[in-house]
Structure 1
Amino acid sequence: MGKLTAMGVKNLTEPGRYSDGEGLILKLAAKGKGSWIVRVQANGKRRDIGLGPLSELPLANAREAARAVRKEVKAGVDVLAERTKEALVIPTFSDAAKLVHEEHKAAWKNGKHQAQWIKTLETYAFPTLGDKLVSDIEGPAIRDALSPIWLTKPETARRVRQRIGSVLDWACAKGFRETEAPMRSVLRGLPRQPKKQGHLAAMPYQELPAFFKWLRERSSVGRLALEFVILNASRSGEVRGACWNEIDLKKKLWTIPAERMKAGTVHVVPLSEAALDVLKRAKAFRSPVSDLIFPG
C-alpha cells in the first residue's frame, strides 16, 4: 500500500519531493504541476528514471509505470539506454552517407575525391542499400551490393566497400547501430579478385629525348604541364594546381603549400634551367582571371 492517495496528491501545494514507497517519488513544482520518477538500483548504482508529468499520469498509473520499470531492471534491462535508443531517429544509408560526406569532405584536399566519394556510393550502393536503415544493414546486404562489380570493376568495388564501411562505422559511433561494419565476413562471401598487373610500364629513359622533341613540336598548356611534371618528378595534381605566386624565379624555387601536398607539409622544389624554360613558355597562356600556371 502506497503512502500517497489520489486526493492527497491533488491537494498538495508545497513544492518538494513526496515519496509513495518502493522508489516512486513525486517531484512537485506547484499545485497540480510536477513529475513522477522511480528510483532503482542497477549494477550497484542508484538511478532515477522519469515516468512522466503529473498532469498526464495519475497516481494509479504512476504506480503501474513504476512497477513496469522495476520489473525491467530486475530482468537486467538498462531502461535508460533503451529509452535513448527509442529516441534516436535512425537514418537510412543514403542519408547517413550524405552526412558523412558533409562532415569529412573539408579534410579531403582533392576536390575530385570529394565528388567521387559520394558519387560512387550513389551509383553502386544506393540502389540496394540507400533506403535501408543503417541499423539494419548486415554482411549479406553489403555483399549483394558489391557482387555485381566485384570482378568486373575490382578497383571501384574496393573503394565502394571501404566507403560503405566508413558510413556504417560512423553510424556505430553515433549510436545508430550496435556494431561497426562487418567487412571481414563480407570479404569471405565474395570471390577472390584477380591480382593486379602492377604499375603501368614506365618509358625507358633512353626514349625521353625523342619524346621531349615530339612534345615540343607544338605548344599547348597540356604539353607544357606534362613537361613540367617530368622535369620535376612531381605528381600531376601538384602541377595542375601550381600557381605563379608559388614560383620564385630569382631563387629558382617552386614552393608548394602544405594544403596541396599529400603529406600535408610544405614542399620546396629546386627548378632546373629546363623547368624555368617551361615557365617562360607558359607565360603566353597566363590568364588575367586565374593565377594558375597551367590554366584549363
Structure 2
Amino acid sequence: MPKKAKELSARSVAIIKENGMHAVGGVDGLHLRIVKGSCAWILRVVVGQRVNAFGELKNHRRDIGLGPFPEVSLAEAREKARELKKLIRDGIDPLQEKQERLNALRIKKQREKTFKECAEIVFANKARELSNPKHAAQWASTVETYAYPKLGDRIISSITKADIAAVLEPIWVSKNETAQRVRGRLENIFNYAKAMDYFTGDNPAAWKGNLEPILGKAKREVKSLPSLPYSEASKFIQHLNTKGGIAAKALEFAILTACRSGEVFGATWNEINFDTQVWTIPKERMKAGKEHQVPLSDKALEILKSVEINKGLGEHIFIAPRGGMLSDMAITSLIRRMHAEQLEIDSIGYIDPKQNRVITTHGFRSTFRDWSADKTDYPREVCEHVLAHKLPDDVEAAYLRGAYLEKRKGLMADWANFCCLNIAE
C-alpha cells in the first residue's frame, strides 16, 4: 500500500521553493509542482487501464492540472481534487469529459454564424453562377437594403419566420415584386445555412404553408415598359438613321430583331451565320436559359455589314467607343436626345400615349407585338417565339423552333419593311 503523504498546512506549502513535485497530503495524489519559480497544482491519479508497448495491461496514470498557486489556494485545490476523484470512482474520465465539453463548445462557436456571414458566402456563390454581373450585384443589394438592418448581426440559428415577416411586411404591398425577390433570396441563404448545419428546422423564409398565411398574396400590378405606337415606328427609324455612331446601329438592330438590349449588346460575330441569315443566341445569354434563333432580315444584315470594320477590335459586334460592350445608358441617352429633338418639331416627341412616358428600347418589343397582332395573320405562337417568350408546352416550343423558323423569317422581313416603309433607298 502506498505511503500517505503528510498533510501540509497552507503556511508550509507557501514556503516550498524547490523545483519538483511536492505531495501536500489531505487528498491522495495532490501535488504542488514547481518549475523555475512557477507553481501549479497537479492531481496525479489512475484513470482506468491501457495496454503498454509490450502488450501488458497497466494502470493509466494521469496528471490533471488544478490551476496555479497561489491563485488557487491549498483548500481550493483539495476541494477540486476530491471532486475529481469522486468522478473517477464513478467511472468518468475528467480529462476526456473536459475535452468533449471543449469540443462541443468549439463546434457550437463554429456554428454561431451571423446572417450577414452566411449571406456574403451565398452572394459570392451567386456571383459565380450568374453570367450578368449586374444581376449578381442586384441580388446582393436587395438583401443588404431590406434584410441587413434587422437581421445582419443576428446569429442565423436564432432567426424565426416572424423575423422574416417583419422584414417583408413594410414592402409587401407597396413593393411586392421587390419583396418577393427578397423572400426568395432569403430562402436561398437559409438553405445554405441548413446545409452547413448553422440552422436547423424548417426554412423560415419558405412561402407555402409558412409565410403565405402571415403575409398573404398581394395583387401584382404588371407595368409594361413605355413603347412607341407602331404607326410611329417608321418615323422613328427615319430619325434614327440621321444619327451616327454605334449606339444608333445597335438600337436599330434591336428594333428590327425585336430582341432585348442585353442580347444585342452581347452579340458576337461567331453567333451570326450570314449564309442562313440566322443569329443564334446561346442559352447562357438568354433570359429563359434556352438557345434562341433569330431570323435576320436584309435590313438587319445591312446593319451588321456596316459595322464589319470593327471586327478586329474584339469579339462583340457593337463595341463601345472606349472598347467593350455598349451599356443601356448609351441607348437610353440616344432615345432621350431624339425625344428632345422631336419635341421641338411636334411638341409630342416619342411618348407612350398610354403611360405618358418617354419610350424605351425594351418597349419596341411591345411595339412589334402590337403590330404583329393587329397588322399580320401570323399565328400567335410564331409571334411569341420571335420574342423568345416561354410557351406553355415545351414540346410545342421545340417544334416551333424548327418548323416555324421559315415563318419567322417572313415575319421579320415584313416587320423590317414596315419599319423602313417611308425611308428612301
> Which of the numbers 248, 268, 273 marks the counterpart of 1:223?
248
Percent identity reads 35
Q: Could you say what secondary structure the match of 1:189 adopts?
A: helix
Contact 2:87–2:93 under 8 Å retained in 1: no
Question: Using the alignment, how far apart are the partners of 2:225 and 2:214 within structure 1?
Answer: 30
For the pair 1:118 / 2:156, whether they are aligned, the reply is no
1:155 to 163, 174, 177: 177
Secondary structure in structure 1 of the residue aligned to 2:315: coil
Task: Check 1:10–1:192 CA distance in 2 against 1; reply closer, same or farther (3 A cut).
Answer: closer
Which segment drifts farther, 254-263 or 228-237?
254-263
Report which of the two structures shows the higher radius of gyration computed on alpha carbons: 2
CA shift, 1:242, in A, is: 0.9
| CA deviation after TM superposition for structure 1 residue 238, in Å | 1.1
Distance (Å, rounded) in 2 between the aligned partners of 1:62 and 1:214:
94
Moved more, 167-176 or 221-230: 221-230
After superposition, the C-alpha distances for 1:111-133 in whole angstroms (9 at most, x for unaligned) are: 21111111111121111110011
Give the match for residue 252 of structure 1: 277
- The structure-2 alpha-carbon separation of the partners of 1:130 and 1:11, relative to structure 1 and needing over 3 Å to count, comes to closer
Equivalent in 286, 292, 309 of residue 261 of structure 1: 286
Select between 128-137 and 7-16 the one with higher mean Cα deviation. Answer: 7-16
Conserved in 2, the CA contact under 8 Å of 1:10 and 1:32?
no
Structure 1: segments with no counterpart, 5+ residues: 1-5, 19-25, 34-57, 69-78
Between the aligned partners of 1:254 and 1:188, the Cα distance in structure 2 is 47
1:171-210 correspondence to structure 2 within 5 Å: 171-179=193-201, 180-184=203-207, 185-190=210-215, 193-200=218-225, 203-210=228-235
Residue in 2 that maps onto 1:14:
52
The alignment partner of 1:104 has SS state of helix
Cα–Cα, structure 1 residues 108 and 62, in superposed 2: closer, same or farther, change >3 Å? Answer: farther
Aligned length: 248
The SS at the match of 1:226 is helix
- In structure 1, how many angstroms separate the alpha carbons of the residues matched to 2:281 and 2:241? 26
Q: Deviations over 1:160-212 (max 9, x none)?
A: 11111111122112211112124444343337534314534654434322232
Deviation at 1:243? 1.8
Give the deviation of 1:96 after TM superposition. 0.3
User: Given the superposition, is the C-alpha separation of residues 210 and 7 from structure 1 closer, same or farther in structure 2, using an over 3 Å criterion?
Assistant: closer
**3-state SS of paired residue (2:279):** strand
- Give 1:230 shift: 2.3
For residue 37 of structure 1, what is the aligned residue in structure 2? none
**Structure 1 residue identity aligned to 2:261:** S
- Whether the 8 Å contact between 1:165 and 1:183 is mirrored in structure 2 is yes
Q: Matched residue of 1:255: which SS?
A: strand
TM-score for both structures, normalised by structure 1: 0.67
- Deviation of 1:148 after TM superposition, in Å, equals 3.0
Question: Which structure ranks higher in relative contact order (CA pairs < 8 Å, sequence separation ≥ 6)?
Answer: 2
**8 Å contact 1:169–1:181 — kept in the other structure?**
no
User: Is contact 2:186-2:205 (8 Å) kept?
Assistant: no
The yes-or-no answer on 1:293 pairing with 2:317 is yes
- The normalised TM-score by structure 2 is 0.49
The answer on 1:133 being equivalent to 2:176 is no
Structure 2 stretches lacking a partner, 5+ long: 1-43, 64-83, 95-100, 321-325, 327-425
